[in-house]
Amino acid sequence: MNSALTHNERLLAQRERHVPRGIITAHPIVAARAQGAELWDVDGKRYLDFVGGIGVLNVGHNHPRVVEAVRRQVGEISHASFQVAAYEPYIQVAARLNALIGGDQHFKSVLFTSGAEAVENAIKIARGYTQRTGVISFRGGFHGRTLLGVTLTGMSQPYKQNFGPFPAEIYHALYPNPYRGISSEAALADLDELFATDVAPDRVAAILIEPVQGDGGFLAAPSAFLQGLRERCDRHGIVLIMDEIQAGFGRTGTMFGYQHSGIQPDLVTVAKSLAGGMPLSAVVGRAAIMDAPTPGGLGGTYGGNAVACAAALAVLDLFEQEDLLAQGQRLAVQLHEGLLALQQRYPRIGDVRGLGFMQAIELVGADGVSQDATLTQKVIDHAREAGLLVIKCGVHRNVVRFLAPLVTTPQQLAEALQMLDRALAHAGA
């Protein structure tokens, strides 16, 4: 192998040889270490990480309290499988999630490993409870890469490819997008039309929705829309499932994205930032619904792993004790104002949007309307060269999203905005 290659290049050549092309890596770097909102590659270059493991690190890389919780738990019990023997961290995580989401109502939680696993089990639970088969999700939504996950996902490429046939009884409705002229009223009317033409509401087990679409472009569902869904679910006996996998744990300024609308979901799926980088997910919901599957109907060998549960308890302690919600809200104002200022200078930024610290810019063509995926990739590449890691999203991949940790400092955020400014200039935005 050429000795002139950098350490990054040598490792990426090995990656090319040993890892299939189906799993992409957004940036041609190999990470070596990270702390807070910063990451260093194997060649020692420092980056501001505004991807955070794709929304996983709301408390930042390697938070000392999470690291210590993991270290302590590994020394006690790392894995027993909750289906064999119960252990306290699992029960504690379930109790705290129930209180956070259910409040004074009787809620229960079951723990899994990935977000897709949580989504799949939420559908199983809803079908078991209602004895119905239909499920409605939304165009532009993302719910995982398992076969049911990609069926629920409202984007064709790259997720569906030639992976069919897909599970039956899954329907997609319009999701509001004011920037593209889709109002809450229009989206609710489309749902009512779907009831009239595709699946009667009394055959629908669940409606599954992200309160802010993540991979779909950081589109926040207006309160009126979520309230309209809640009313229709109540009227027709449909389970309302809120997918909080990316929006949850302070990303939108409240603990969960749905809380901005004042509604109470029946089931909530959580993952990503729940455990500070450890693989853990959950379905949290009304006890009567959660208890619908009979014993043995739910589970998974690694679900609710003890080490991941210990990390989650540390994360939940941090939210309670270090005022991370308020810190995220302050950063959100700084980010939003900075992005709006850049929009004034760069006409190809068609829209600045989001909720709380979950924000994005949509890049458009010179006509001010068409989606420009090529420009978006150029901005991302130039941002990396400047020292800022970001990734894209949106059905047409023309949106740059920002998922910086809530522990990012104002100085780091100001530096990131300067890097983004340079990237936009170099990309010709």
The string of DSSP letters for 286-321 reads EHHHHT-SPTTSS--TTTT-HHHHHHHHHHHHHHHH
pLDDT digit string, tens, across residues 84-104: 999 999 999 999 999 999 999
CA distance to 374, 385, 396, 403, per residue, from 393 (Å): 13, 20, 8, 12
Mean pLDDT value across residues 293-303: 97
Burial of 135 (0-12, 13-18, 19+ CB in 10 A): buried
pLDDT of residue 74: 97
Fold of 7-63+323-427: Aspartate Aminotransferase, domain 1 (3.90.1150)
| DSSP per residue, 247-279 | TTTTTTSSSSGGGGGT---SEEEE-GGGGTTS-
Q: And the tokens for 206? A: 């669940």
Give the separation between CA 360 and CA 254, rounded to whole angstroms. 18
Residue 404: phi, psi to the nearest 5?
-65, 150
pLDDT of residue 157: 86
Smallest Cα–Cα separation from 264: which of 232, 226, 293? 226
Average pLDDT in the chain: 97
Mean pLDDT value across residues 324-328: 97
Cβ contact 318:275 at 8 Å: no
For residue 1, is pLDDT > 90? Answer: no
For residue 81, is pLDDT > 60? Answer: yes
pLDDT digit string, tens, across residues 348-390: 999 999 999 999 999 999 999 999 999 999 999 999 999 999 9
∠ Cα 54 250 72 (to 5°):
75
Smallest Cα–Cα separation from 175: which of 144, 215, 123? 215
**Which regions of the chain carry the CATH code 3.90.1150.10?**
7-63+323-427
pLDDT digit string, tens, across residues 18-76: 999 999 999 999 999 999 999 999 999 999 999 999 999 999 999 999 999 999 999 99
Smallest Cα–Cα separation from 226: which of 270, 196, 268, 288? 268
pLDDT digit string, tens, across residues 200-231: 999 999 999 999 999 999 999 999 999 999 99
For residue 2, is pLDDT > 70? Answer: no
**Radius of gyration (Cα) for the chain, nearest Å?**
21
For residue 316, is pLDDT > 90? Answer: yes
What angle do the packed helices 306-321 and 64-74 form, to 10 degrees? 150
**Which regions of the chain carry the CATH code 3.40.640.10?**
67-321
pTM greater than 0.75 (yes/no): yes
Cβ contact 392:400 at 8 Å: yes
pLDDT digit string, tens, across residues 150-194: 999 999 889 999 998 999 999 999 999 999 999 999 999 999 999
Please enumerate in sequence order all residues whose Cβ is within 8 A of that of 382, keeping only pairs 6 or more positions apart, or say none. Answer: 422, 423, 424, 426, 427
Q: What is the 3-state secondary structure (H, E, C) of 369-426?
A: CCECHHHHHHHHHHHHHHCEECEEECCCCCEEEECCCCCCCHHHHHHHHHHHHHHHHH
Mean pLDDT value across residues 234-261: 98
Give the separation between CA 72 and CA 42, rounded to whole angstroms. 28
Give the separation between CA 379 and CA 426, rounded to whole angstroms. 8
pLDDT of residue 382: 98
pLDDT of residue 3: 66
CATH number of 67-321, picked from 3.40.640.10, 3.40.50.1980, 3.40.50.300, 3.30.2130.10? 3.40.640.10
Mean pLDDT value across residues 339-345: 98
